[in-house]
Amino acid sequence: MPQIVILPHAKLCPEGAVIETEAGKSVCDVLLENDIHIEHACEKSCACTTCHVLVREGFDSMNEATETEEDLLDKAWGLEACSRLSCQSIVADADLVIEIPKYTINHASEGGH
């Protein structure tokens, strides 16, 4: 079973976490099922960037991003080459290391930084 290592995030997961999961689930679903309340304003329909994550390890093991996801990621706060929308990132058999960015575009636009 693959593991997802969540790096510490000040609000969502201060201590970090290691989660065992099944292949075939989205990273967003795994986080939510394990009480890591990542934003997902579009209800996981690939219509926003609030579930943006940085895949620090295991990026190439996941499904490829669609053109729609890549277009949305261009609007994400803190975009990096390893950025994905967690609602679209499907866990494969490899372990992952995930970092949740400090802000989302919603948070920044609401003056939360």
Instruction: Tally the domains of the chain.
Output: 1
CATH number at residue 46: 3.10.20.30
Specify the 3-state DSSP secondary structure of 77.
coil
Q: What is the DSSP string of 1-41?
A: --EEEEPPBTTTBTT-EEEE--TTSBHHHHHHHTT-----T
Domain range for 96: 3-109
Q: Indicate whether this model's pTM tops 0.95.
A: no
Instruction: For the chain, 113 residues long, give each residue's pLDDT as a single digit of tens.
Output: 999 999 999 999 999 999 999 999 999 999 999 999 999 999 999 999 999 999 999 999 999 999 999 999 999 989 999 999 999 999 999 999 999 999 876 644 444 44
